[in-house]
Amino acid sequence: MFDAKFIRDNPEVFDKSLKRRGFNVNVDQILDYYKDYTLALTNLQKLQMDRNQISKDIGIKKSKGQSAENLQVKVVQVKEKLSSLQEKSEAVYMKLRNILEVIPNLPSRDVPDGLSENENIEIRKNGVIRKFSFKPESHDLLGSKLNMMDFERAALMSGSRFVILKSDLAKLERALSQFMIDYHVKYNNYCEVSPPSLVKSETMFGTGQLPKFSEDLFQTTSGHWLIPTAEVPLTNMFAGEIMIPADLPKRYTALTSCFRAEAGAAGKDTKGMIRLHEFKKVELVSIVENNQSEYELDHMLKCAEEILRLLKLPYRVVELCCGDLGFSAMKTYDIEVWIPSQNKYREISSCSNCGEFQSRRMNTKIKNANGKIDFVHTLNGSGVAVGRALVAILENYQEEDGSIRIPEALVDYMGGLKEIKKKDDS
């Protein structure tokens, strides 16, 4: 959440930066609320000083055996004014907060202009797109023919946008998850974490999911929220704390189930595993000093890319334009994997630098050697989405007879299995 003082001191820069995202906000209204709030705080402080002085005067009079009745009346009057002014200041603050907490992060200056995904910029491609001697089938059809992917039974239990994986496909999902976690821990120096899947509202607020995106989330009757990504608990691990430079960087990875209502995705990707209510993802989160986040973003992107290189899946890296950035991001690179049945690239990872946007909401700070207090910078990225990686393997490694070759990097994780074929008893 933004500091209203920053907006007051940089109104034109603030407004112009948000317009680059296609986001309009009434800056004058923010400044009016902030002015009213600071004035109320000043008056509160003055009244508190008056009350304290009158209380001292009452004590002096009583110690001398003098009547303090007139001063006691003044104390009551001042207390009434304080109560009224306190209510007013809180009301103004809530109006200010309600505006500030739904304003997205400001894009970095080097983020390309544009208001839609059509204006994103392709940075690079990697891998060779396979030329099939037959018409490649979609992953859902392949999985169904293998008798290892069942959407119908999942729908009977849970409704649409759920899937049951069986036999070797369930094993492949597990192998992918283990492979990714092992690689990030062993070669990329991430610390593995097993976080809660249920969090409180303030935790969701800290990373920017609340209050704006409540419709895309699942909430329990206890008031807890199901995490849409491990970014939420991993980033919030140091909420409310003051760190020191020696503590940083912090790099965490986690394999979790992710839960998304997909309220804004009606009619999109209704078939298959591309967009489910529940899916598994390996997440990467970094907490760094504020002068290290640009380097860390490049590092995180390379870590996510390496997974796809090792799986030998064709992909491309895209830099998002201002209008396509996520709510908390100031700069984002998407990695898109090739999906043969759709004849296009689809997102499989999104690596974002959030700057101090989340740390302000979480109140996570760093005390530098000179004693100065700053906010840390946070980053997050998929390393990568397990379900979409499975989709990409099924489609890119399929053979004409419907069997699926196993990427070399996963053979050991599959117990030596090099090919998935239909099993009658699955």
Of 367, 385, 389, 387, give the one whose Cα is nearest residue 376.
367
Q: Is the pLDDT of residue 58 over 80?
A: no
The stretch 345-371 carries a mean pLDDT of 96
Residues 179, 185, 189, 192, CA torsion sign: positive
The answer to whether the bond into 11 is cis (omega within 30° of 0) is no
Q: Is the pLDDT of residue 62 over 70?
A: no
Residue 193: predicted pLDDT = 98
Neighbours of 374 (CB within 10 A): 14
Give me the residues paired with residue 316 across strands: 125, 336
Residue 103: predicted pLDDT = 98
The stretch 341-350 carries a mean pLDDT of 98
| Orientation angle between helical segments 27-63 and 11-20, nearest 10 degrees | 140
Task: Please state the domain extents for the chain.
Answer: 4-100, 117-420
407 falls in which pLDDT band (50, 70, 90)? very high
Q: Do the Cβ atoms of 366 and 242 come closer than 8 Å?
A: yes
Instruction: Determine which of 238-242, 271-275, 298-302 has the lowest per-residue pLDDT on average.
Output: 271-275
Q: Which CATH architecture has domain 117-420?
A: 2-Layer Sandwich (3.30)
The stretch 17-39 carries a mean pLDDT of 96
The stretch 31-41 carries a mean pLDDT of 94
Mean residue pLDDT across the chain: 94
CA distance 42 to 342: 62
Q: Is the pLDDT of residue 76 over 90?
A: no
What is the tens place of the pLDDT at every residue in 84-118? Answer: 888 999 999 999 999 999 999 999 999 999 999 99
Residues 298, 296, 211, 103, CA torsion sign: negative
Give me the residues paired with residue 331 across strands: 353
**Domain at 4-100, CATH class:** mainly alpha
CA distance 381 to 387: 15
